[in-house]
Amino acid sequence: MPIPYGDHLAANLAANAPHGIDAFIDLFGPQYVQLAVDLGIPPERIETIISFEKAAQYGTRNAGSADGSTREVLTEMAAHAASGRIEIPIAATYPLHRVRNAFTALEQRHTHGKIALIP
């Protein structure tokens, strides 16, 4: 069940997971690593790709996107996407000459999927 972001995120997560949360992945910022710690998730079950200072503070995992962007990983992911095994949602596409518009949309941080540039 999707839990919307907002002022009551911690309470909503706790209400929807009465037996606790097993793991947490932060893709946005330090407040979410803090949230995971506050929810009692063990540090070794918290992963962040962006909040390296919080990861150091609490001893959480902190593999950044560069760790997963090797040629081998990207080749495997592309093969999975091409076969339909995984689906990568596309939120919007922009022609290359509208790259500024694409970045403006990305900066809003409300996209549900990837933004793709079309040459």
Q: Residues 66, 35: one domain?
A: yes
Query: Which residues have C-beta within 8 Å of that of residue 64, sequence separation ≥ 6?
Result: 49, 50, 52
Q: Residues 93, 82: one domain?
A: no
What is the span of the domain harbouring residue 102? 89-119
- Give 40-62 pLDDT, tens digit per residue: 999 999 999 889 999 999 999 99
What is the band of 66 on the pLDDT scale with cuts at 50, 70, 90?
A: confident
Alpha-carbon distance of 11 to 54, in angstroms, equals 22
Query: Which residues have C-beta within 8 Å of that of residue 99, sequence separation ≥ 6?
Result: 117
pTM above 0.85, yes or no: no
Domain count, the chain: 2
Q: Residues 61, 106: one domain?
A: no
Q: Residues 98, 83: one domain?
A: no
Query: Which residues have C-beta within 8 Å of that of residue 14, sequence separation ≥ 6?
Result: 39
Q: Residues 49, 68: one domain?
A: yes
Alpha helices in the chain (DSSP H): 9-16, 30-38, 52-58, 71-83, 99-107
> What is the structure's pLDDT at 100?
96
Q: Kind of pairing, strands 90-95 and 114-118?
A: parallel
- Give 82-115 pLDDT, tens digit per residue: 999 999 899 999 999 999 999 999 888 778 889 9
> What is the structure's pLDDT at 46?
96
Q: Residues 68, 111: one domain?
A: no
